Structure 1
């Protein structure tokens, strides 16, 4: 029996088991990410050795694959957030993706600099890599449908969508301290201007592409009976356009993709109004979907819901593939992670740094004490941390990556376990209490 046949059997069995047992997993204190991570570990070098990625040799390829998975997830999250831009809920997003993240980085920097004895560059790099929450693994925390305005879900969802890109400036500052040059890093003033340019250009490009693609396609559909179908192509094409254009101008492309998703949803809101898009489309028969795509009153809702549905389905496959990969990498480096000096910084992040950051940033916000507690605890680390680890290995080289690598991998594993086992229970109690 060939290796290819074994892989087909393993992947097929895993897909079928997760599809059949999805309800069971949802009722238990566990997540799909925990299953995928465990399977990846077993397939890795520590066990049967079927999945043995060479991180140093294949770092560029692994980084590209992780990057591609992240951008699809960020776009999907943006499309979930069907809330007016003037709504006060967006202030929670800015608080968590801005001050909360910066405070978390500052507290973790102190711990890494003087607790672990790292130099300033690696200490800030570790703090910045661990600061953003994960958009891929946060299915349990995400808003349940487009238009869901439950404050806790909205805050955690939008934070995961925005802070992956918002962490980029801090990562570049840390790399500059490690001797890795980037745009404007030779001078503090030009570096500050480069950061401002990166943030502004990302928002502008993401919004322009999101708005422009929707306007073009709906016009072609409603007036000329063209560009019908293939919403998956539209979704991936829009993601690639926004991401590529932002990279060309040295912007922070993760932000652009998230903003593009928000822009698509904003155009749908303007066309559909107060009625939920799912309600507007619920009376459409499957055979009449093409007619809905050409209807001026339904075209925006049809396109937005179809693109979001495709992105969410893609995201599930991405979660499986990336968590298998991360599990195999953890399997290869598991011995390095079994040390107290690796474990305690992760616990410090979960129990002290993140709570301090969220507590201070949410002072005076609309969230009550229970919601603030859950916001402080439910800050998952996963694919985004793995991406930045690969990025740092590619940019700064093996010595610095070896200093922070085991801690980042330990943070991912412990987050998947601790946050995964507690999220369902805590959220069930939270919603039961609110009901």
Structure 2
């Protein structure tokens, strides 16, 4: 009976989302809010179809969040088309480095002064809550690779980079708690967890993205082979980049993001620009796929077709992953030790710490005051924070600390899903209206 009920619930949810997708785009609601309600409904508080708890289900939740974040990071990378010398890259890099460090430091300071946590747990909490989420932030990200908007580019790039740039602080927090080796005076942490893991992760993903992309294009252009199964190509490149990075003791999140950026960059270098984009758009809607097969092996348009086909599949897979993980978050809420939550901390993080970190990180940058305000507001927390929390729990975080960090983290995540879900549609609509009225995006 449980499986039958699950089939009915999931089926109804997916059909409902398909039918109501255009309506939801106009309403101040996000799909994540609906998934969260479904999770509450199937949990012990209502139907009791699934029972998750933060410690007993930590391994499963970590893997679920890990997979969804990987899909989202690869998608984010594929959306970013400018070359690495483009000045727009300065914004996400500064957000992922400068603003990340400021956010971790401010959260750690607040936790040390007012939450009575040990130093290691303070830094760990900062690392868990500092990254913005690439999964739940899709509505404020770049929608098309040709989109030159600085706001969307900054948020997309930040979401792709800072899920990896937070990892050194996670390892530092675990090390100060005695759960990870830091080395004398922290030399191992700095050399391995900061320098090597970051550089090797980016290099691994970039190298594999370029190499596999070139191989596929060579087979298609020269030999009319390797056509179709672009979904396998997407999943294969994600898994290969992530696995190789982990084997090298590097950050797999950065590797997957870099692989997506590399594949898109390869397409930009070898395609015919707008002509290729138009040909690919026609091919994608061709009912009998004959045009698609011709465009896929066309020497001029093959790169654009490959990148767009991989992106299209990945976006669909990402949406399905979002359904699963947000429902899991909703089903988890009944077991959260809410007595350890500090609800005053949530507005402090979202309304003070995030905007301050953005302002400091983007000081003297070429963004308007309105764009800087929106970047500060859309510091969405979600699946990435859940992943880092479960990662810490599975690496031996003591139960009392695990309970406290779980309550603090999920209070922020749930609040972010609700308030950002309500505000994203009207705020982005107002922003787009301002752009159309002729106000510069930069």
**Is 1:288 aligned with 2:291?**
yes
2:302 maps to which of 299, 302, 326: 299
CA shift at 1:371, angstroms? 0.6
Give the aligned partner of residue 396 of structure 1: 396
Structure 2 unaligned spans of 5+ = 437-442
CA shift at 1:17, angstroms? 0.5
Contact 2:65 2:383 (C-alpha < 8 Å) held by counterparts = yes
> Cα deviation per residue 1:220-263 (whole Å; 9 max; x = unaligned)?
12222221110000000000000000001110110000000000
CA shift at 1:85, angstroms? 1.4
Give the aligned partner of residue 239 of structure 1: 238
CA shift at 1:61, angstroms? 2.4
Give the direction of change, closer, same or farther, for the CA distance of 1:259–1:24 in structure 2 (3 Å limit). same
Give the direction of change, closer, same or farther, for the CA distance of 1:365–1:280 in structure 2 (3 Å limit). farther
**Is 1:325 aligned with 2:328?**
yes
User: What is the number of equivalent residue pairs in this alignment?
Assistant: 430
> Cα deviation per residue 1:360-401 (whole Å; 9 max; x = unaligned)?
111111111111111111110000000011001001332321
Pairwise CA RMSD: 1.4
Give the aligned partner of residue 210 of structure 1: 209
Separation in 1, partners of 2:7, 2:277 = 36
Structure 1 unaligned spans of 5+ = none
Give the aligned partner of residue 28 of structure 2: 29
CA shift at 1:426, angstroms? 1.1
**Is 1:313 aligned with 2:279?**
no
CA shift at 1:56, angstroms? 2.3
Q: Where do residues 244-263 of structure 1 align in structure 2 (5 Å cutoff)?
A: 244-263=243-262
Separation in 1, partners of 2:374, 2:276 = 30
> Cα deviation per residue 1:8-46 (whole Å; 9 max; x = unaligned)?
000000001111011111111110000001110121122
**Is 1:414 aligned with 2:412?**
no
Contact 1:292 1:302 (C-alpha < 8 Å) held by counterparts = yes
CA shift at 1:276, angstroms? 6.8
SS of equivalent to 1:21: helix
SS of equivalent to 1:342: coil
Contact 1:277 1:305 (C-alpha < 8 Å) held by counterparts = no
Give the direction of change, closer, same or farther, for the CA distance of 1:296–1:180 in structure 2 (3 Å limit). same
Give the aligned partner of residue 20 of structure 1: 19
> Cα deviation per residue 1:394-428 (whole Å; 9 max; x = unaligned)?
01332321121101011110000111111111111
TM normalised by structure 2 equals 0.94
Give the aligned partner of residue 345 of structure 2: 345
Contact 1:89 1:154 (C-alpha < 8 Å) held by counterparts = yes
